[in-house]
Amino acid sequence: MSRPPRHGGSLDRAVAEFGGAHADWLDLSTGINPVPWPVPPIPAEIWERLPEHSLEDYCLDAARAYYSVPEGAAIVAAPGTQAIIQRLGDLIGTNRRIGIVTPTYGEYDWCLATPDRVVGTVRAIPAYEDGYDGVVFGNPNNPDGARHAGETDRTAVAALLAHSGTVIVDEAFADVAPEASYVPDTGNDGLIVLRSFGKFFGLAGIRLGFAIGPPGDMARLRRLLGPWAVPGPALFVGGRALRDIAWIAETRTRLMRDRQRLTGLLERHGFAIAGHTDLFVLAVHDRAPGIAAALARARIWVRSFDKDAAWLRFGLPGDDAAFARLEKALAQAV
């Protein structure tokens, strides 16, 4: 990969290219819940002091319960899962052949490809006999929402692990598909699952994520992250939100309903649906670049892709007014 991957959420780029102020834009370029968990007042001492171990434990205990982490696995908090991805190479080691199931989040290729580690792109979880001793895949995947949790996939994962392979599962969007998670299988050597807090809870600015895996690997990751890696306010908010069972259940229901509404809206305007989670929809149109530009002129920002110009990914509008704004803009753009 010759340059860093582009991501959604870059409103600075939208404003620079199409004008307006940030507040003028409807940002549908990410898979972040547009109706965030309501953050309560944060005690002053949490702002004023370095994060205490007790505060980190408060957050990790909540995360362990929410993600159903088994007793034999360890969990580490980080300032976002990207901070973990940046350090995966140190956990995987050198002289390895790693397959990245694509299309997926572009940072894996960017962060893992080095002269002493071979990184290849694959379309499915490779069998051990294919010559790979490691794999990275999303579950559900970004950007197409594909799940890799069926019997065939789990058999391939088990074979890699049985031969001392490394399996990295990115479950940034698994809050809306908890039944497909690999977290219950963690604790075995070689299996590491990443979970993102900010997407489902709608608080990406908190920068909070988790890695779940074998105690030895997690201890090493914790050393790589260093002391006080996660700010106290993030630990406080995470610990509270992950315990809000009623909000979590209501949000899963709302997200599913809104995703179905978005899917119907896009189909009515001539899009084919290539995939989805309940946090985004990947749609296909033969005039996607022109539609994206027309939406941008209407101050609606969606996610385009260099790898496939026909793809557009739409995050969820947050309310009826946002849905109406998108529908009006699409009627004029398509």
pLDDT in tens, the chain (334 residues): 456 677 776 899 999 999 999 999 999 999 999 999 999 999 999 999 999 999 999 999 999 999 999 999 999 999 999 999 999 999 998 889 999 999 999 899 989 988 889 899 999 999 888 899 999 999 999 999 999 999 999 999 999 999 999 999 999 999 999 999 999 999 988 999 999 999 999 999 999 999 999 999 999 999 999 999 999 999 999 999 999 999 999 999 999 999 999 999 999 999 999 999 999 999 999 999 999 999 999 999 999 998 899 999 999 999 999 999 999 999 999 8
pTM: 0.96
Last residue in a domain, options 198, 222, 243: 243
Shared domain for 175 and 224, answered yes or no, is: yes
**58: containing domain:** 49-243
Same domain? 175 vs 68: yes
CA atoms within 13 Å, Cβ hemisphere of 183:
27
Q: Token pair of 303, please?
A: 């996610």
232 and 310 in a single domain? The answer is no
41 domain residue, yes or no = no
* Inside any domain, residue 120: yes
For helices 232-241 and 53-66, the axis angle rounded to 10 degrees is 30
Residue 186: CB partners within 8 Å, gap ≥ 6? 69, 70, 72, 73, 192, 193, 212, 213, 214
What is the total count of domains within the chain? 2
Pair 102, 78 in one domain: yes
* Together in a domain, 252 and 209: no
CATH of the domain at 18: 3.90.1150.10
Kindly report the length of the chain.
334
Q: Tokens 């529908």 map to which residue?
A: 327
One domain for residues 190 and 304: no
Domain-ending residue, one of 243, 263, 295: 243
pLDDT at position 253 is 98
* 279 and 170 within one domain: no
Instruction: State whether the Cα torsion 251-295-142-310 is positive or negative.
Output: positive
Beta-ladder partners of 97: 118
Q: Hey, what amino acid is at 274? A: A
Residues 191 and 294 in one domain: no
CA distances in angstroms from 197 to 19, 176, 275, 281, listed in the order given: 31, 12, 22, 20
Q: Is 233 left (phi over 0), alpha (psi -120 to 50) or beta?
A: alpha
Residue type, 109: D
pLDDT for res 1:
47
pLDDT at 115: 86
Same domain, 254 and 275: yes
Q: Per the domain annotation, does 2 fall within a domain? A: no
My answer on whether 224 and 297 are in the same domain is no
pLDDT digits over 66-76, tens only? 999 999 999 99
| Helix (H) or strand (E) segment spanning residue 200 | helix 198-201
Average pLDDT, the chain: 95
In a domain, 21, yes or no: yes
* Residue carrying structure tokens 């793809």: 311
Residues near 258 by beta carbon (within 8 Å), at least 6 away in sequence: 278, 316, 317
Position 7 scores a pLDDT of 75
Q: Which residue has the tokens 């991501």?
A: 7
- Looking at the domain assignment, is residue 281 inside a domain? yes
Type of residue found at 264: G
How many CB atoms neighbour CB 72 within 10 A? 10
Instruction: Give pLDDT, residue 128.
Output: 83
Whether residue 186 is found in the same domain as residue 202: yes
CATH code assigned at 218: 3.40.640.10
- In 91-250 the beta strands, taken as DSSP E runs, fall at 97-101, 118-122, 134-138, 166-170, 191-196, 209-213
User: Where do the DSSP E strands lie in 139-228?
Assistant: 166-170, 191-196, 209-213
Question: What is the model's pLDDT at position 3?
Answer: 61
Say if residue 19 is in the same domain as residue 165.
no
Last residue of a domain, one of 243, 269, 287: 243
